[in-house]
Chains A and B, each alone.
Chain A
Amino acid sequence: MEFAELIKTPRADNVVLHRPFHPAVEGTLCLTGHHLIFSSRRQDNAEELWLLHSNIDSIEKRFVGSLGTIVIKCKDLRIIQLDIPGMEECLNIASSIEALSTLDSVTLMYPFFYRPMFEVLEDGWSSFLLEQEFELLSSVTNEWRLSCVNKEFSVCPSYPPVVIVPKSVDDEALRKVAVFRHGGRFPVLSYYHKKNGMAMMRSSQPLTGTNGRRCKEDEKLINATLRSGRRGFVIDTRPLAVAQQARAKGGGFEQEVHYPQWRRIHKFIERFNILQESFIKLVEACNDQSHNMDRWLSKLEASNWLTHIKELLTAACLAAQCIDREGASVLVHGSEGTDSTLQVTSLAQIILDPRCRTIRGFEALVVREWLQAGHPFQQRCAQSAYSNSKQKWEAPVFLLFLECVWQIHRQFPCSFEFNEQFLIMLFEHAYASQFGTFLGNNEYERAKLKLPQKTMSLWSWVNRPEELSRFQNPLYEANSLVIWPSVAPQSLQLWEGVFLRWNRPSKFLEEAEEERINIIKYNKELQAKVNALRRQLAEMETDEEVQEE
Chain B
Amino acid sequence: QVEQVKLLDRFSTSNKSLTGTLYLTATHLLFIDSSQRETWILHHHIAAVEKLPLTTSGCPLVIQCKNFRIVHFVVPRERDCHDIYNSLLQLSRTAKYEELYAFSYNPKQNESEQVKGWQLIDLAEEYKRMGVPNDYWQLSDANRDYKICETYPRELYVPRTASKPIIVGSSKFRSKGRFPVLSYYHKNKEAAICRCSQPLSGFSARCLEDEHMLQAISKANPSNRYMYVMDTRPKLNAMANRAAGKGYENEDNYSNIRFQFVGIENIHVMRSSLQKLLEVSGTRGLSVNDFLSGLENSGWLRHVKAVLDAAVFLAKAIAVESASVLVHCSDGWDRTSQVCSLGALLLDSYYRTIKGFMVLIEKDWISFGHKFSDRCCQLDGDPKEISPVFTQFLESVWNLTEQFPQAFEYNEAFLLQIHEHVHSCQFGNFLGNCQKEREELKLKEKTYSLWPFLLAEQKKYQNPLYNPDFSPELTLLEPNTVSFNFKFWRNMYHQFDRSMHPRQSMFSLIMNTSEQNKQLEEDIKELEAKIKQRNGQSDVVLVKEQEQTAHPAPVALKSPPCFQKEQPPMPVNDAVRTIEGSNTADNRYSELVSEFSKAEPAVVSLEYGVARMTC
Contact = CB atoms under 8 A, between A and B. Distances in A.
A473 to B, nearest CB: 10
A256 B584 contact: no
Contacts of B603: 256
A488 B506 contact: no
Contacts of B505: 413
B602 A519 contact: no
Interface string B509-523: 110011011001101
B610 A266 contact: yes
Interface stretch (B285-293, B330-338, B425-433, B566-574): B285-293
Interface string A488-522: 11111110000010011100110110011001101
B223 interface: no
Nearest to A313: B589
Contacts of A540: 531, 534
Tell me the interface secondary structure of chain A in the complex: helix
A291 interface: yes
B503 A533 contact: no
Interface stretch (B53-61, B170-178, B401-409): B401-409
A105 interface: no
Contact of B465 (A322, A515, A529): A515
Nearest to B511: A519
Contacts of B523: 530
Contact of A293 (B486, B538, B589, B602): B486
Residue from the set A268, A295, A529 with the largest chain B CB neighbour count within 10 Å: A529
Interface string A75-115: 00000000000000000000000000000000000000000
Contacts of B583: 484
A488 B284 CA distance: 9
Contact of A307 (B287, B464, B553, B588): B287
A260 interface: yes
B579 A481 contact: yes
A489 B283 CA distance: 11
Interface string A523-543: 100110110011011001100
Contacts of B594: 325-326
B416 to A, nearest CB: 16
A54 to B, nearest CB: 29
Contacts of A388: none
B171 to A, nearest CB: 37
B525 to A, nearest CB: 10
A80 B206 CA distance: 55
A326 B490 CA distance: 32
B556 interface: no
B296 A415 contact: no
A485 interface: yes
A317 B586 CA distance: 12
B613 interface: yes
Interface in A290-346: 291-298, 300-301, 304, 306-307, 309-310, 314, 317-318, 321-322, 325-326
A318 B593 contact: yes
Contacts of A304: 288-289
Interface string B251-290: 0000000000000000000000000000001000011111
B483 A296 contact: yes
B44 to A, nearest CB: 27
Interface in A269-307: 286, 289, 291-298, 300-301, 304, 306-307
B120 interface: no
A120 to B, nearest CB: 35
Contacts of B546: 537, 541
A419 to B, nearest CB: 11
Contact of A504 (B485, B528, B582): B485
A500 B11 contact: no
Interface in B63-82: none
Given A526-B521, A530-B523, A490 B490 contact: yes
Contacts of A522: 517
Contacts of A520: 510, 513
Given A414-B577, A484-B584, A512-B465, A537 B527 contact: yes
A301 B292 CA distance: 6
Given A256-B603, A263-B606, A321-B590, A413 B506 contact: yes
Interface in A461-489: 475, 477, 479, 481-489
B506 A526 contact: no
Contact of B602 (A256, A292, A541): A256
Contact of B503 (A239, A295, A411): A411
B405 A411 contact: no
Contacts of B521: 526
Contacts of A134: none
A154 B327 CA distance: 78
Interface string B521-564: 10110011011001000101001001000100100000000000
B311 interface: no
A314 to B, nearest CB: 5
A326 B593 CA distance: 8
A296 B587 contact: no
A462 B174 CA distance: 69
B211 to A, nearest CB: 36
Interface string B458-490: 000000110100000000000010111111101
Contact of A263 (B295, B305, B516, B596): B596
A310 B582 CA distance: 18
A526 B504 contact: no
Contacts of A488: 11, 286, 499-500, 587-588
B597 interface: yes
A529 B403 contact: no
A489 B287 contact: yes
Contact of B292 (A286, A414, A489, A503): A489
A240 interface: yes
B234 to A, nearest CB: 14
Contact of B520 (A263, A291, A526): A526
B504 A415 contact: yes
Which are the 7 A-B pairs with shortest beta-carbon distances? Answer: A512-B405, A489-B291, A296-B483, A301-B292, A297-B296, A293-B302, A526-B520
Given A488-B286, A530-B527, 6 more contacts: A256-B602, A291-B484, A294-B299, A300-B292, A411-B503, A548-B540
15 contacts: A263-B602, A263-B605, A291-B483, A291-B484, A293-B486, A314-B589, A317-B584, A412-B579, A489-B286, A490-B494, A509-B405, A512-B465, A515-B406, A534-B550, A537-B530
